[in-house]
Structure 1
């Protein structure tokens, strides 16, 4: 028995891995954009080539998310009608068009249009990638192949931060090179997709049985082909039977209790993954590190590189854990870990505010507001003021000075003015951060955050959503879950800087910690284990009665009590 299993695993052909590789390039493109946006935005602000107010910063950063949310549903229809392969090719085209538009932009409106076009590619890749891989992979490595989305996302983010670091000294056009590299990745994926086969399950759905059979033989090296075809046919009998009862997919999903429960779990996982702050932390990692006290843009970007190296390491750990530990346990532990790390980060930022350097009394004839602040934290919250301090290890106090109207970097007056001989030598100008002696704690906290995120909350929503729906609802189920992801990501990313202004950064992380804790409880009660199950077997997990589901996922206390009572009775009889 064990030998046969080993032989099946060892015979997994190279084609299966090649399919996953080129499909996951779309995830790498997403990760690249997530990592590149923070560094590129910092360079745009320093170059003064575009006047990006805090509102425009949020619009540019969150630019891909509205179209990504909209196009997840479009992608679901396209992949159902024209095939999974063509849906993925569409994502590559949008990645290339978006990158070209962004690179050539001379105004902030054109830059935003380029970001919106990139979002269309996000929508297609988010709705199609995991489903395509799930339908082409054998059960014993399906979780790992889908789980590779997290390492690829992290590789993309790490690659972006390295490239951002390399171009961080090019203040004029560095941001164009950073965002433009994404178009090259899209082109590589498009060429690779030309040589990949279509999903055999989609071919069966379209009654193209001969093509489906050939595809399965190629993907399995002829092993267990008849068994897999029989399972797919049995699933199709259920599909045709349900079609006779109702037509619209969404209405059928809502009328089918098991699918409705699966949709609640799938969308719930995406909700908690996004609002626990995962993508916000990655998008704004450079800015968060700068807020913690690392003023130099290059230092902030290179610290992001260190954090993403840790993220990548634990993403590969997650590839092994997803099938070794199981989806359910990993989700519960991961979200609880995000709660702990977010709580620690929030406390660190709170301490940074409480121990903020004092503002020395100064005469300000041009702006009376700046001279009224008593601490650095209050000074930098005012967009018309900045903090000027001595270039030394422990900063105790400094000056709150008005910002130059033409550029934020030198102050308009005082010792940090660009005309001063001291600027750049004994004085440092901080427009949007306060110096802190324990800035390194924030870097450690962010690293700990990603240690829990990378192997669990990162890949699991996509892995689980690709598994839990029946074939007739798989595209739509993944589409709704991806739309939930995009919508929540849009809200969290587009409002992050405004939220920081309203409740300070420590308040934001306290809220994220609470949401992660609620998500961990949600997974404990509603998420069943799908490890080592075929896609057809997983459908039955959500069809169980309440007591059976509870017993299956391991928290039916009555069943445990009955079992203990039976053991006690047997011991007494002996």
Structure 2
């Protein structure tokens, strides 16, 4: 696409360009709010009796938006072409408002899941319209920067969502409702603002509505002298149409798009570009970033910070780092270069992932001892020797005294009426918990090195935000020829949501599978090698136990 020349208005930066960018990017704030708020709301909702959120249902609730986002990212592209970018964003914000209202007022897990699906519809439609609307309304000298602020806006939304969840974490009964329900506020603000903003002049040109395009462009540029830029837009549109006709993909129907897609696969350079674009999104999402954000509260709690409010405050700190480096990333892309930034980012993700893995290995190996001498509690829970073994059983929890250094405690059966207390023993009611300064942990173990997990999460997002957070979107916007740009970006977007769905919907099950496997086999090969690196005496202990007797 040729750059548009703005002779008279080149140095003028009409405020409306920034205003429409901000309110269009509210779609990213809405999406980010869902990610951040969900990480806290799920911690509060998982103990609500009438929701009955099992491990599978937790994953479904968290992954729900991704299911509908995959479908509606494609539908959103069709709606954008047919009805305009502005109407697409209005529709997206409507889905957001409806989804957050249904989610916040849910009376069972099925209703909660429906609300999450509606939020996903908004995410999908917005992903197909936001960047296109901003790009088509921005002057060429500002276009790259205005599109590039999407990652900071997403991170701002995440931070707001987590902060709101912290504020309502003290309300154990309805905090999750307020956290999710308040997501309707930014979506409603976007809907109202978009009513007063102009439609994309390029979309008017595509629909052969030149007068409307002129009026829209005059308003966006705050000038009557837009004829030269309008002529440039028309020339670009004709160039795209000619490229499509040459490809044999004429027409706007599904058949035309299928012909274009087949041509993309047959053209070696475009096929490689498609592999790079979709591959970048695949690696970015399989790095686990969305599980880190969606499940940040649960991950921090699993590392040993049992108090929900404390876990969420740590999540706020981590996402402040995320926001800082998302802003730095906008500046680094052009200064450092795409390839170098990708390599640095991926290496950093590798190091921070090792840091997180080390925390959980240490938490499993050095978890407090469980008392096995109490003959009164003669059931399966009383047979476990460590906290880590105890909490692997969903029917058991760990009861310990609230002291700075926890050495041991009791493995007790979870109450049949509530996960928040034990069936019997010192943690069998909120009264005994407070009277004897006892803590009931049914899904985590208290350890002294939880700070390593917090540092690991901060490092993870620090390396992700400026690298793999922005580069897949930036590179996909640059590598396709004009005739393949729309379908190429659509395929890359669908890859992104599909990979996000896979990681988000399987995270808790995958963690449980690893824990169970390690517990059943005691120590697998990779864990054992890690122990050898940290504990050379392990080698000699193994040698001693396998030594052949001399007599």
TM-score normalized by the length of structure 1: 0.82
Relative to 1, partners in 2 of residues 1:391 and 1:206: Cα closer, same or farther, differing over 3 Å? same
Which whole-Å deviations, capped at 9, do the CAs of 1:149-190 have from their partners, x for residues lacking one?
Answer: 111111111111111111111111111111111111111111
Q: Please state if 1:246 is matched with 2:264.
A: no
Paired residues, what number? 504
Q: Deviations over 1:513-534 (max 9, x none)?
A: xxxxxxxxxxxxxxxxxxxxxx
Structure 2 partner of 1:263: 274
Kindly report the root-mean-square deviation, in angstroms, between the aligned alpha carbons of the 2 structures. Answer: 2.6
Query: How far does the alpha carbon of each residue in 1:435-485 deviate from its partner, in whole angstroms, 9 at most, with x for none?
Result: 111111111111111111222222332233334444444443332222111
Within 5 Å, which residues of 2 pair with 1:263-342?
263-342=274-353
1:539-558 equivalences in 2 (<5 Å): none
Deviation sequence 1:303-330 (CA, Å, 0-9, x none): 1111111111112112222333333333
Q: 1:501 to 1:67 in 2, by over 3 A?
A: same
Between 1 and 2, higher relative CO (CA 8 Å, sep ≥ 6) is seen in 1
- Give the distance between the partners of 1:453 and 1:225, measured in 2 at CA: 43
Residue 95 and residue 420 in structure 1: after superposition, are their counterparts in 2 closer, same or farther (change >3 A)?
closer
| CA distance 1:422–1:341, shift in 2 (3 Å) | closer
Which position in structure 2 is the counterpart of 1:107?
108
> Do 1:127 and 1:478's aligned partners in 2 also have CA atoms closer than 8 Å?
no
Give the match's secondary structure for 2:415. coil
Q: How does 1:138-537 map to 2 (within 5 A)?
A: 138-220=139-221, 226=228, 229-230=231-232, 233-234=235-236, 236-243=238-245, 245-247=248-250, 248-256=256-264, 257=267, 258-363=269-374, 368-418=379-429, 421=432, 423=434, 425-504=436-515
- Which SS does the other structure have where 2:465 is aligned? helix
Q: What is the CA–CA distance in structure 2 between the aligned matches of 1:155 and 1:246, rounded to whole Å?
A: 40
Q: Is the 8 A contact 1:143 1:322 kept in 2?
A: no
Q: Distance in 1 between matches of 2:517 and 2:283?
A: 19
- Give the 3-state SS of the residue equivalent to 2:467 in structure 1: helix
Q: Check whether the contact 2:372–2:384 (CA below 8 A) recurs between aligned residues.
A: no
CA distance in structure 1 between the partners assigned to 2:134 and 2:61 by the alignment: 31
1:94 is matched with 95
Deviation at 1:232, TM superposition (A): 5.6
- Cα distance in 1, alignment partners of residues 97 and 10 from structure 2: 37
1:8 shift after superposition: 6.9
What is the CA–CA distance in structure 2 between the aligned matches of 1:326 and 1:224, rounded to whole Å?
34
Q: CA deviation at 1:75?
A: 0.6
Structure-2 change in CA distance of 1:92 and 1:304 (3 Å): same
Deviations 1:128-168 (A, max 9, x none): 21222222223443332222111111111111111111111
Separation in 2, partners of 1:327, 1:370? 53
In structure 1, how many angstroms separate the alpha carbons of the residues matched to 2:306 and 2:516?
Answer: 16
Cα distance, 1:234–1:410 mapped onto 2, change above 3 Å: closer
State TM-score, norm by structure 2: 0.85
CA contact (8 A) 1:416 1:423 kept: no
State the secondary structure of the residue aligned to 2:300. helix
CA contact (8 A) 1:235 1:471 kept: no
Distance in structure 2 (CA, Å) of the matches to 1:199 and 1:231: 11
Q: 1:241 to 1:475 in 2, by over 3 A?
A: closer
Cα offsets for 1:349-382 (capped at 9, x unmatched): 2122221222221446666321222221111111
Identify unmatched segments of 5+ residues in structure 1: 508-574
